[in-house]
Amino acid sequence: MEKSSASQFEQQPTKRLPVAAILGSSLFLIGLSAASIAPYRAIVAIDNLGMSNSIYALIITMTSIGTAVASLIMGHFSDRIPDRRRLVLASALLGSLAYGLLYLYPAQLTYIIAFTIILPFGGALFSQTFSYSRAYYDQHQPDRSEFMMSVLRTLFTVAWIVVPPIAGWIASTYTVFDLFAAAALAHLSFVLIFGLLFTDSTTKIGLGVETSADEASTGWHIPRSRLLDIAGVTLVRVSLALHLTTLPLAMINDYGGTLREVGINASIAAGLEVPFMLLWGLAVTRFSKEAILTANALIYSLYLLLLFYAQSVWHVYWLQGLNAIATAALLSITISYMQEAIKGRVGLSTSLIDVITVLSTFTAAATFAWLSSEDSYVVVFLAASGLSLAGGTIIALSRHLSGLQLQQDDR
């Protein structure tokens, strides 16, 4: 009876919801939560809870692997359930639970349970939200679908620009554990805002709504050309991870900078990325995603090579224009690009982003440990430049092979 009443309520919306605003606000809240917590995870575990460095490293490794596995599982089921919205809300509630527990019961055991058991599923919220958003726009506004993915990714990035100074003030004025309360509240706010979609039956997306049974039965099969795409994107993501790790260290040790200048550089880069993400979102309606990714992988390779030859902090500042152009495309366009990896399985395809993130993070960590030294870090930029060049070349090769395959099929 309750289910029938809920169904009737859902089928009789009073007016069409502002779905774009709801999804945009939801992605901003995900970014708010991530930007609040990410810089302080190690500080909380090691300095506040007294964990050893090795235990913390093990926890983060388990969390990364768990997130990739959980994302694949949830991506698989999101393509096979009648309503994707429920899985998105489940991820948000689990994220709120994990951060809320850490705020209420700050202890080593709570940290371990939250990060290794609960957050792998809560951490899938990013990919699940993008999965739902892509499926929604593919059904209702297919001509705007890829542009909207860039818009949503931009709003996620905006949170990373706005939130860190506020989070730093909260941590220094009150306690660092208050940031977990902020993250939990962000997830609960996500539930309230995203939950508005349940009042409009047109926002129900799932198996039998936007996907036929034949499309959903393609399983886990990934075409050979797409495997090359994934390999190319992974190499580019490794170079991005190496840059993220190395640049702050190089600015201080190789370019004679200060912590303040590290922050200024990060702000310059992030601020420039936002408009370029929107521009690339428009460009993808006129150019192929492979062409955009290939071009920007080459631009990023050039940027990293120039970093290798840079002599001062000001040189780094001036190079951030190149960095922003390339990074904006490599972060935003790869989302819509990977969402097409498995035909008819947008949820599972989107979850591959989390898998690539984990693989690239581990590979970057090993590469950094192998190449870096206490005296200099710039040689890492040279390796990252080569990886970005290789990734772009593989993506271009994949496009060429796909074209040859289409020609053979036509014959």
- Blockwise average pLDDT, block size 10, the chain, 411 residues: 44 68 96 87 86 84 87 84 91 96 95 94 89 90 87 90 86 89 96 94 73 49 74 94 87 84 82 90 87 95 96 93 94 82 74 85 85 83 96 87 57 54
Q: What is the pLDDT of residue 165?
A: 84
Its sign, for the CA torsion 245, 266, 123, 140, is negative
Residue 211, strand partner residues = 207
Q: Which CATH superfamily is domain 18-216 in?
A: MFS general substrate transporter like domains (1.20.1250.20)
Distance in angstroms (rounded) separating the CA atoms of residues 329 and 23: 21
Residues 6+ apart with CB under 8 A from 53: 46
Question: Which CATH number applies to 224-410: 3.40.630.30, 2.60.40.1180, 3.40.50.2300, 1.20.1250.20?
Answer: 1.20.1250.20
Q: What is the pLDDT of residue 29?
A: 96
Q: What is the pLDDT of residue 266?
A: 81
Look up residue 206 and give its DSSP letter. S
- Terminal-to-terminal C-alpha distance of the chain: 58
Tokens 């309360």 belong to which residue? Answer: 181
Q: What is the pLDDT of residue 97?
A: 97
Q: How far is CA 355 from the centre of its chain?
A: 11
Determine contact, residues 249/368, Cβ cutoff 8 Å.
no
CA torsion angle 310 311 314 319 (round to 10): 0
Distance in angstroms (rounded) separating the CA atoms of residues 225 and 317: 38
Distance in angstroms (rounded) separating the CA atoms of residues 103 and 176: 9
Q: What is the pLDDT of residue 292?
A: 93
Q: What is the pLDDT of residue 17?
A: 82
CA torsion angle 98 26 326 321 (round to 10): -100
24, 83, 192, 246 from 15: Cα distances, Å = 19, 20, 18, 50
Q: Which two tokens stand for residue 19?
A: 């779905």
Distance in angstroms (rounded) separating the CA atoms of residues 152 and 168: 25
The amino acid present at 220, given as its one-letter code, is W
Model pTM? 0.79
Determine contact, residues 350/130, Cβ cutoff 8 Å.
yes
Q: Of 9, 180, 203, which Cα lies nearest the Cα of 96?
A: 180
Q: Of 23, 173, 165, 34, which Cα lies nearest the Cα of 98?
A: 34
In the chain, ranges of CATH 1.20.1250.20 domains: 18-216, 224-410
Q: What is the pLDDT of residue 56?
A: 84
The amino acid present at 94, given as its one-letter code, is L
